[in-house]
Structure 1
């Protein structure tokens, strides 16, 4: 946990050092719709359904110019996925991650009001799994267990994830923001890579509201 906090602080300070004008700070949160993407070397890729989760993100907005900013931050992200087979066996995972994103954002002024912008951005993130739950439902019976993070054969998921964020939305002159995003995990989450056959990655749609102070 100390490493996560140090990395987040370093990202915030690093973003501020690039600023050409006053650095602002923002807070946003909302609904996440996560799922897993599976890629199999042999056979058909299993299809997973989305679950409903949440996210909360604190970030700095450090202007690089009148239209571009860098936004490092720290985020609490709910992820996971759901799988239902032909026998109506349902397996669901809900996980919680601390993420450190660094997004590069372009702001395009709109004529609808003073200071109102359309923003579009993208950037990398590093994620660290902190908790999670497996839920297996069959024949109206439900079984739950905690998720273990690590890279040993007995673990459920790797504890570190790297990926790319894409985001867009509107920033009002008052500082109020509405946005949507897509997180694309690049790390194979299976401990040990399961022999190198296939790949399991995070995919997350998110919708948020917030305020830039």
Structure 2
């Protein structure tokens, strides 16, 4: 509701000031990971392929500059190994996979560089800006061995802002509801088609089990590509 109100206000204000307003839809795929806890028992962190989608407004103040507030659904995640699996000799190890899904509100400041001498109505896009995100869903998988006995489980992610004791082992199982960070975007806009690549840099520790120690902080990182249409 808040995001919708902000977009409606932007629409009304842009009309009042006579700026050019358009809107678009885009979606794609990317590779997400996490800045994982720097603990001796975490032996590997790898990326996770996930999706992105967004509805956005393009508020053009000049031919070469616009602001693009948006509202989208974005996946994040990573795979984390705890202790190292060494063939059949290791009796205890864990493999954790997290795939949180966020409702995301980005506000990007976009510079448009025309290359009309080559293609009519074609712009190179460069920009970025802040985003805020709210966790709405996701899955977590845990598998491995404990004293030689195999186990596996899959559950819904629990979103919580309740901090756990320092150095508790809760770097999985719960994720904080809110995230905040910065986007960087580059791409091409040709007539009504857009192609974008981007990087999202999470600035918030999303691990409620390690709020008070820098060693165990977890932060979202994500590369993504998207294709869209603009109206």
Given the two structures, how large is their TM-score scaled by the length of structure 1?
Answer: 0.88
Structure 1 equivalent of residue 221 of structure 2: 203
Seen in structure 2, the aligned counterparts of structure 1 residues 72 and 12 have a Cα distance that, compared at 3 Å, is farther
Structure 1 equivalent of residue 26 of structure 2: 28
- Whether 2:141 is the aligned partner of 1:135: answer yes
**Cα offsets for 1:150-175 (capped at 9, x unmatched):** 112387111001100111111002x1
- Helix, strand or coil at the partner of 1:195: coil
**Cα offsets for 1:50-70 (capped at 9, x unmatched):** 111101100000002110000
Unaligned runs of 5+ in 2: 86-92, 165-169
* Superposition map of 1:1-213 within 5 A: 5-11=1-7, 13-14=9-10, 17-18=13-14, 20-38=18-36, 40=38, 47-85=44-82, 86-87=84-85, 89-110=94-115, 111-138=117-144, 141-152=151-162, 153=164, 156-173=174-191, 175-191=192-208, 193-198=210-215, 199-213=217-231
Report the Cα offset of residue 14 of structure 1. Answer: 3.0
Unaligned runs of 5+ in 1: none
Larger radius of gyration: 2
Given that 2:160 and 2:174 are in contact with CA atoms closer than 8 Å, whether structure 1 keeps it comes out as yes
Report the Cα offset of residue 43 of structure 1. Answer: 5.9
Seen in structure 2, the aligned counterparts of structure 1 residues 116 and 196 have a Cα distance that, compared at 3 Å, is same
Report the Cα offset of residue 142 of structure 1. Answer: 2.9
- Helix, strand or coil at the partner of 2:212: helix
- Helix, strand or coil at the partner of 2:46: coil
Seen in structure 2, the aligned counterparts of structure 1 residues 66 and 20 have a Cα distance that, compared at 3 Å, is farther
Seen in structure 2, the aligned counterparts of structure 1 residues 162 and 46 have a Cα distance that, compared at 3 Å, is farther
* Distance across 1 between alignment mates of 2:42 and 2:18: 48
* Distance across 1 between alignment mates of 2:104 and 2:177: 12
Aligned pairs, number: 207
Q: What do you get for the CA RMSD once the two structures are aligned?
A: 2.3
